[in-house]
Structure 1
């Protein structure tokens, strides 16, 4: 799970090119921040500088702006093989130092390849799987192959998912390969870039060429060549498109953090998502038709996307449809057939567990639909019907505006599928805006929860997936242990942990209010500090209930309740993190896009 960038330019000075590489690495740092490195190629040498730590630490330690060359590679790492260290940081080189490699992914057969290469006399410096690529290319070049042929032979020797960039001394090209992990080309005047995502390149260009799975090729300052693993050449011009996402999303723009900024952009993300859904009638109609004709609808996701999918599945189940929510990594125990439809939900479109699940179900004959927030991603490519939210780039590791826009898109899809009038969604943007106006209450609650070590999030009906999402957010951002349950299940074990001052957050979307009130009484009787997040109904108006704090957001239609709840639970987690003095944009041990199993 890493960010990679390659740039070939004939116009920029060496210093400008080095500085541009650093800036793009800053934008890619959400993909990993264990270590950072760069390689530059001048006429007579390849230079590598790298270091453990953040981009800023790398800049201070290694002064990359003094590197020379017209071709640069960059890498920001989230460790999978070998602990974070200067040596294990990318780029990696061969024995001669004439080949440099950056890589995102996992090489499954690296131990076998490494042992074989060691027997052939190669010396390895790192613990990583990536280094075998450099030595494989070196090996094939020694056998007399030209650079591109040696690169292709090396790629075809490795197993596993990857995005790889390579430079070879004296060759003005950057060689690349992609299997399941993200990689896109950016086209500019006198310059070509290749990166893990398109928005990292937007300061230079928004002209993008997506690379599909099992394709390799090369770029230079003015050339772009793509070839399928099977040998078929690709017309790159036919893929060229202009991305319309604003590059301004790559800065704080005066906000406290990316997460804070992105929560406050949620209403815009919802507006643009629904506008797009309502405008793209042909593809939406195909999606609705496919879902309506299915015997069963599997809804696949991981983490936050699973919670959005669970909400969608529950809506369908309540209406009598057979809808099965599936945690992506557990897809093996759910068998789909050609009579079924599978909706795969992923913010990035590159989540490895979800990608593997989609391929598995597709191989069994099921029709694959997807909902992602990026164009030209791997899951979309694997789908029969690819739908997109329009939340824009999200830099904070925790999903905020992307989750809220997923909820909006899934409300739209489910209402269409169930034959409901979607007029109520015209109030979606205002609903989210109303929720954002409750940030003061979120600050108070988050500051209170900041003092706690444990918490419960409880809900009923559609409140259950929102409770799951609330507990996930405060765990990943504020490092507070939180568990979520259907409120009725709290009596069957969890209540044993409740004592005086134990915080219990109730999600009240207006369903089963009487039962939820009883659960509040049960927790209060054990000394719990009860917090209620309500839509329309204020439970604390009942004087029999002991409630420490209640926040209520008004909605014009109860179906909008999840949209009103999403920013509130996100903001509570954000303010808890801020209270604890931790960085909400970069929670420990996590990365934005999970591209490993």
Structure 2
């Protein structure tokens, strides 16, 4: 949630800050602001609304300077107003701060500072930070000491960047909220960036230093000094493989549409080098890695949870006890010990609830694996091992290509576990199945080239409700289809196991409802019967079916998917549902890449 950008040593601080904020707008778009050291103090400009509104507000009076900080906000404390926008300043206006996360004890700190005469102008938890720093500086502390003392007073999660009038230094600290440093040494003088996510500064540099929890950094044009509670530390500088072109929209009107259409490329990245001679080869997990494991827990949130449910079904099919848990509900639900493998599934690697579940599992002695998309993310550093999905950057808030890559990666991991564990059973049709998995990118390209999703969306506009039903592997896909639909269309959508319709949800079915029935997979015929039950109640039925299936008169329309292995067909059905959601949202005029109230990376619990 929220996006931080800072630049040090820039020829155009305001321009680079605004570029960074635009690149981070998927993390928060309720309000935005910048602060620049202009030689006469700290110039602060902030505005409720989108980045474009901030740009318009400062167009006639652009601050000048080479050092600055910026922020795009997703509201947690206080509504999106000019006053609640970051940066926040101290009473003297000599300290400016941007912050991601939640300060859990801010009310106590705020009351203490108000008793000492400090005046607050916002409803945010963040505003206590500049006042605290000012408080300690008034007591005689230098800037760095005051900053560290203020940070020590805070409970909760934070990534903080700080500027103080009269210096060209940016101070930063992180705890349970991501913060990375960009290093551009391509010119005569080195420039530095701070951000909550790498895409913020990819147009300027691909060299990155990942700060870790407990790190405090001091960044000047002369270099970076980092220390933790034990003293100075060295964090390596890495080159990221993503580039600015990958994080742009290219020829597409929306990031989401681009990411739907680049799923074949993303999936090839996931599978590359991992299937050889009809077998799975994972360098991360050599033979015997998982010996002794007796059960698998998959913890995740949102779209990643639906991918995890697909993974759990595969594991159970392979004879391995597996359960999926919503990360926020992972509280002593089942015994966890050293014979448990906990797989944390998170696109960003920074999802707060998933990280919390991972830490609880590690405290209980479980082995842990992170399944993520972001190299250097918190989950990849904290888990015992990591399996990267290698899907490339995903900017759209509604996850698409990463779901496909997560399921594919979990499919590979299932094969590895089945081979390692005594109770595991490698599927009898492994060679055929893996060949179809390798062919899946081509199947998706075929589907994208001849989908009718736009026509189906247009003919189903204005319905009262949209239900998505499926069985077995198609059930998590139905949940994911409903989630995508509600995320970006704002229409009422629900996903159900099709066999459960008659056990309650059928009461919601009216002639003004549309049912998307997933007839792919081995249990499509059973779902077909359930869809017919809904149709007799007057609902409109859209079948998502393989090319060769005759759906007869049970459906009002059909979305076809190319023939593939039945255990993979749900991923093709999912692409059709993504497109239906996109075209429906487009027809309704929704903010597709920036759905209301949502942000890409949920870094607070």
**What TM-score comes out, normalization by structure 1 length?**
0.95
Select which of 575, 581, 601 maps to 1:593. 601
Counting only pairs closer than 5 Å after superposition, residues 133-172 of structure 1 correspond to structure 2 as: 133-172=129-168
Residue 432 of structure 1: CA displacement? 1.8
Is 1:397 paired with 2:394?
Answer: no
Write the distance in 2 (CA, Å) between the matches of 1:101 and 1:404. Answer: 38
Contact kept? 1:408, 1:563, Cα under 8 Å: no
User: CA 1:291–1:448 in structure 2 vs 1: closer, same or farther (change >3 Å)?
Assistant: farther
Contact kept? 2:457, 2:583, Cα under 8 Å: yes
User: CA 1:284–1:508 in structure 2 vs 1: closer, same or farther (change >3 Å)?
Assistant: farther
User: CA 1:442–1:399 in structure 2 vs 1: closer, same or farther (change >3 Å)?
Assistant: same
Contact kept? 1:208, 1:240, Cα under 8 Å: yes
Any idea what the Cα deviations from partners look like across 1:394-452, whole Å, max 9, x if unmatched?
1111001111111221222223333334333221211221222243x111222233321
The secondary structure found in structure 2 opposite 1:161 is strand
- Hey, what does 2:484 align to over in structure 1? 473
Residue 276 of structure 1: CA displacement? 5.7
The secondary structure found in structure 2 opposite 1:81 is coil
User: CA 1:64–1:538 in structure 2 vs 1: closer, same or farther (change >3 Å)?
Assistant: farther
The secondary structure found in structure 2 opposite 1:592 is coil
Contact kept? 2:24, 2:199, Cα under 8 Å: no
Counting only pairs closer than 5 Å after superposition, residues 105-504 of structure 1 correspond to structure 2 as: 105-189=101-185, 190-228=190-228, 230-236=229-235, 239-275=236-272, 277=274, 283-286=283-286, 289-291=288-290, 293-335=292-334, 336-418=336-418, 419=426, 420-421=430-431, 422-439=434-451, 441-504=452-515
Any idea what the Cα deviations from partners look like across 1:433-485, whole Å, max 9, x if unmatched?
1222243x111222233321211111011010000000111001111111111
Write the distance in 1 (CA, Å) between the matches of 2:273 and 2:61. Answer: 42
Write the distance in 2 (CA, Å) between the matches of 1:289 and 1:485. Answer: 38
Write the distance in 1 (CA, Å) between the matches of 2:60 and 2:157. Answer: 29
- Hey, what does 1:549 align to over in structure 2? 557
Q: Name which of structure 1's ranges 453-462 and 556-565 shifts more when overlaid on structure 2.
A: 556-565
Write the distance in 2 (CA, Å) between the matches of 1:282 and 1:317. Answer: 21
Write the distance in 2 (CA, Å) between the matches of 1:64 and 1:7. Answer: 22
Write the distance in 1 (CA, Å) between the matches of 2:477 and 2:290. Answer: 24
Write the distance in 1 (CA, Å) between the matches of 2:141 and 2:274. Answer: 50
The secondary structure found in structure 1 opposite 2:383 is coil
User: CA 1:549–1:96 in structure 2 vs 1: closer, same or farther (change >3 Å)?
Assistant: same
The secondary structure found in structure 2 opposite 1:315 is helix
Contact kept? 1:41, 1:70, Cα under 8 Å: yes
Any idea what the Cα deviations from partners look like across 1:208-265, whole Å, max 9, x if unmatched?
000111211111123111111x2321113xx111001121123221212111111101
Write the distance in 2 (CA, Å) between the matches of 1:571 and 1:164. Answer: 38
Q: Name which of structure 1's ranges 564-573 and 406-415 shifts more when overlaid on structure 2.
A: 406-415
The secondary structure found in structure 1 opposite 2:4 is strand
Contact kept? 2:521, 2:567, Cα under 8 Å: no
Write the distance in 1 (CA, Å) between the matches of 2:263 and 2:417. Answer: 25
Write the distance in 2 (CA, Å) between the matches of 1:493 and 1:285. Answer: 44
Contact kept? 2:177, 2:603, Cα under 8 Å: yes
- Hey, what does 1:4 align to over in structure 2? 4
Write the distance in 2 (CA, Å) between the matches of 1:520 and 1:583. Answer: 31
- Hey, what does 1:529 align to over in structure 2? 540
Is 1:516 paired with 2:516?
Answer: no
Residue 290 of structure 1: CA displacement? 4.5
Write the distance in 2 (CA, Å) between the matches of 1:276 and 1:104. Answer: 37
Write the distance in 2 (CA, Å) between the matches of 1:77 and 1:142. Answer: 29
Write the distance in 2 (CA, Å) between the matches of 1:75 and 1:512. Answer: 49
Write the distance in 2 (CA, Å) between the matches of 1:505 and 1:106. Answer: 39
Write the distance in 2 (CA, Å) between the matches of 1:290 and 1:577. Answer: 45
The secondary structure found in structure 2 opposite 1:387 is strand
Provide structure 2 residue ranges, at least 5 long, that are not aligned to the other structure.
Answer: 419-425
RMSD of aligned alpha carbons: 1.7
**What TM-score comes out, normalization by structure 2 length?**
0.94
Any idea what the Cα deviations from partners look like across 1:121-175, whole Å, max 9, x if unmatched?
2111111111111011111112221111111111111000111000111122110
Any idea what the Cα deviations from partners look like across 1:24-48, whole Å, max 9, x if unmatched?
1000000000000000013331111
Residue 292 of structure 1: CA displacement? 5.3
Q: Name which of structure 1's ranges 211-220 and 333-342 shifts more when overlaid on structure 2.
A: 333-342
Contact kept? 2:31, 2:80, Cα under 8 Å: yes
Select which of 563, 570, 594 maps to 1:562. 570
Residue 65 of structure 1: CA displacement? 7.0
- Hey, what does 2:43 align to over in structure 1? 47
Contact kept? 1:183, 1:196, Cα under 8 Å: yes
Residue 535 of structure 1: CA displacement? 3.2
User: CA 1:65–1:553 in structure 2 vs 1: closer, same or farther (change >3 Å)?
Assistant: farther
Q: Which has the higher helix share?
A: 1
Contact kept? 1:299, 1:313, Cα under 8 Å: yes
Write the distance in 2 (CA, Å) between the matches of 1:511 and 1:282. Answer: 28
Contact kept? 2:180, 2:198, Cα under 8 Å: yes
Residue 556 of structure 1: CA displacement? 3.5
User: CA 1:282–1:557 in structure 2 vs 1: closer, same or farther (change >3 Å)?
Assistant: closer
Contact kept? 1:510, 1:537, Cα under 8 Å: no
Any idea what the Cα deviations from partners look like across 1:181-201, whole Å, max 9, x if unmatched?
111000012200010111221
Is 1:583 paired with 2:591?
Answer: yes
Q: Name which of structure 1's ranges 402-411 and 443-452 shifts more when overlaid on structure 2.
A: 443-452
Write the distance in 1 (CA, Å) between the matches of 2:475 and 2:74. Answer: 32
Write the distance in 1 (CA, Å) between the matches of 2:468 and 2:196. Answer: 36
Q: Name which of structure 1's ranges 101-110 and 423-432 shifts more when overlaid on structure 2.
A: 423-432
